[in-house]
Chains A and B, each alone.
Chain A
Amino acid sequence: MKKMTSREKNEMLWGWIFIAPTMLGLIVLNIIPIFQTIYQSFFKTGDFGKGNVFVGLANYQKVFGDTEVWQALWNTIKYAVFEVPLSVVIALILAVLLNKKMKGREVFRTIFFLPMVVAPAAIAMVWKWLYNSNFGLINNVFGIKVNWISDPNIAIISIAVIGIWSVIGYNMVLFLAGLQEVPRDYYEAASLDGANGVQQLLYITVPLISPTIFFVLVTRIIGAMQVFDLIYMIIDYNNPALKKTESLVYLFYKYSFEQSKKGYGATVIVVLLLVILLLTIVQMIGQKKWVHYE
């Protein structure tokens, strides 16, 4: 091995000094905790959070037989299946409509993005009130009587609607950035060939910004699988739809911090990690079929 020059030594020293705070922090705050959480999932926490008893894989066996966990996984998937595709499609259409010189472009963009800067806690409170079955704005304006958030069959969809409403502006801005890369003459050529707006969207826009769509899909699915705030804020303990709306992160919070069963809480969150990893890998493989990189 060749000896380092003093300049190289100096660079190495400063390199390590510069990354030291970040790496130290990441190792202590994040990397070690990953292993601690996995380790914790092999323990049963006693009453009042006292005493950790090693139980091996018993928590995982329990998870597989636990209908509440399966239901929560199903609720989480249902939420994601409604939220992600709809928010992506609506955002893509809005981005295409806004992707031209027009009056009021900035104003529309600012309005659509607005929910991104408001705490989900506040957003959930106002939607809970809009959804109120007796006095809520939605039922009154349309003269209907739907139990939006207490009917177990539709509550999770009502919550997904809030999720869509919250995130379309964010997705739209990402799509707008992607659309900047699409050359204008593609559309001119297509129009000359007689392609209408929908055809242009499907055959030019979507393939050309497919890397952006892929990125948004992957990050939105990860985000949607971690849904918590909206459900926690909207569904009260005595809501009949509670069991049909709790998500995996909600269960994690309930077990770990409300019931002090940190061992079982850790198991639930490791399961979520595995589900998210699996979904991401499937998408990474699937992208080869439809994502076009230049």
Chain B
Amino acid sequence: MTMKDRINKIVIYVVLTLVSITMLVPFVWMFLTAFKTVAETMQVDPFVLVPAVWQTENFGKVIAAMDFFKLYVNTLLMIALRVLCAVLTATLSGYAFARLKFKGKDFMFGMVLFQMMIPVQIFIIPQYVMVSKLHLTNSIMGLVFPGLVTAFGTFLLRQAYMGLPRDLEEAARLDGCNIPQTFLFIMAPLTKSSMVALGIFTAVFAYKDLMWPMIVCPDNNKTTLASALAKMNGQYSQKYPELMMAALIACVPMIVIYIFFQKQFIEGIATSGGKL
């Protein structure tokens, strides 16, 4: 390795490390603040980085103010149902759009593509009206509602089926499998990685969504983590330790799951987004 290569390498590592620090500081600061007293957060001279005594009671205070257990249950149920609906409906329709011949297919698929290009806010008022007419406000089904089907997932799974070899299907047909059998036993199992990608994509975006749960489930105990954070944010303007503790409780589990499955997460979110 020449001197120039070595310097290059050092510069690259320095840049990457600086960016990493920038990415991590907000999370570290969230963590440190969550265990401070309010007085410590307002101390400028000397500036307090690490809490003198780790205030674990902030956790109790936040839990008492907001029922985080309930919020977790709501968020998880919403995510589970949305993932289930998305994977199920998109697998079926993706297969049909990729492999079956039927009249009206192009028109229907055009509708799927068209829908993907429209900003979601266009749907929100009518969807909200439907949910309130069905008396589903402040319910899990209300949270799930816009995620019952997915145009994006249909497109993603169609791509997956298009990439599979044709002879496999022909062989199954010749062996006497009918269409649902071919789909269920031969083809669907081969798209597992795309299903996982769609599942992760759906889960992460359901968890991050703020506007829909705020509109449809305004009650403290009926809403999701993200929307509960928005509510606390409005009420606790100066109590940063409690706000940071709440934010920490809301995002730590997702971060932990992400660190364990980072490869699947990155592939699921970015590469499936990139296939559009």
- Chain A contacts to B: CB under 8 angstroms: 8, 10-12, 14-16, 18-19, 21-34, 36-37, 40, 94, 97-98, 102, 104, 106, 108-130, 132, 134-135, 137, 140, 165, 169-170, 173-174, 177, 197, 212, 215, 219, 222, 225-226, 228-229, 232-233, 236, 249, 252-253, 256-257, 262, 265-266, 269-270, 272-273, 276, 280
Contact = CB atoms under 8 A, between A and B. Distances in A.
Given A19-B97, A33-B126, A226-B121, 9 more contacts: A37-B122, A108-B19, A116-B270, A118-B254, A122-B226, A123-B26, A125-B229, A225-B119, A226-B120
Contacts of B237: 236
A36 B154 CA distance: 24
Contact of B274 (A29, A37, A177, A225): A177
B201 to A, nearest CB: 11
Contact of B92 (A19, A249, A272): A19
Contact of B125 (A32, A232, A256): A256
B96 A174 contact: no
21 contacts: A11-B102, A19-B92, A22-B92, A22-B112, A31-B115, A40-B125, A40-B126, A110-B266, A111-B23, A112-B19, A118-B254, A124-B233, A125-B243, A134-B42, A177-B274, A215-B274, A219-B273, A226-B120, A253-B211, A272-B119, A273-B122
Contacts of B151: 22, 26, 30
Contact of A11 (B25, B119, B179, B227): B179
Nearest to B178: A10
B210 A232 contact: yes
Contacts of B269: 116-117, 170
Contacts of B111: 23, 26-27, 31
A125 B255 CA distance: 17
A29 to B, nearest CB: 6
B137 interface: no
Nearest to B30: A126
Interface stretch (B50-58, B62-70, B257-265): B257-265
Interface stretch (B76-84, B190-198, B244-252): B244-252
B16 interface: yes
Nearest to A41: B125
B2 interface: no
Contacts, number: 270
Contacts of A126: 26-27, 29-30, 244, 247
A16 B126 contact: no
B108 interface: yes
Nearest to A169: B23
A14 B12 contact: no
B119 A129 contact: no
B125 A265 contact: yes
Nearest to B47: A140
B100 A29 contact: no
B122 A33 contact: yes
Contacts of A33: 122-123, 125-127
Contacts of B233: 121, 124-125, 128, 233
B34 to A, nearest CB: 10
Contact of A111 (B20, B108, B125, B154): B20
Nearest to A238: B237
Given A119-B208, A125-B244, A22 B121 contact: no
B100 to A, nearest CB: 4
A23 B93 contact: yes
A78 B121 CA distance: 20
Nearest to B16: A108
Contacts of B128: 257
